[in-house]
Amino acid sequence: MNKENKIENQTAFVSYMVDDSGTVWLEAGWSPDDKSIEQFSQMMYELHSGQLMANTLEFINEQCTSEAEKTEYRKILVKLNEFFFNIEDSEGLLPTEDHKPVVKPTQVFPQYGG
């Protein structure tokens, strides 16, 4: 998917890009008024608290119209699931009764249309 839309009256933005070496590049901007700064801050909060992920995945899923795009989307969900629940990244910590994940890995994939 490579669809770019120009947003009228844009007050703030964050764009992430990744190159073929895996380096993540960031571009961000906002208008200098208080409302734009507040909107940018709200967007950053939603982005980094995880609230924006569900909306983003739902939007991407709706944009996938061909079978090839739907297959790619499912691969993205599988990879996301791997990143969230990668045992190697847990530094040897195994879930205990009081530290179980809130959402089981098997529940993440269907939730976003996979």
| Domains in the chain: boundaries | 1-49, 67-114
Q: pLDDT, tens digit, for every residue of 59-106? A: 999 999 999 999 999 999 999 888 887 755 555 555 555 555 555 555
* Phi, psi angles (nearest 5°) of residue 30: -160, 160
Could you give the C-alpha distances from 38 to 27, 30, 32, 44, 47, in angstroms and in order? Answer: 18, 10, 10, 10, 14
Q: pLDDT, tens digit, for every residue of 21-57? A: 999 999 999 999 999 999 999 999 998 888 888 889 9
| d(C-alpha 104, C-alpha 85), whole Å | 9
Q: pLDDT, tens digit, for every residue of 7-30? A: 788 999 999 999 999 999 999 999
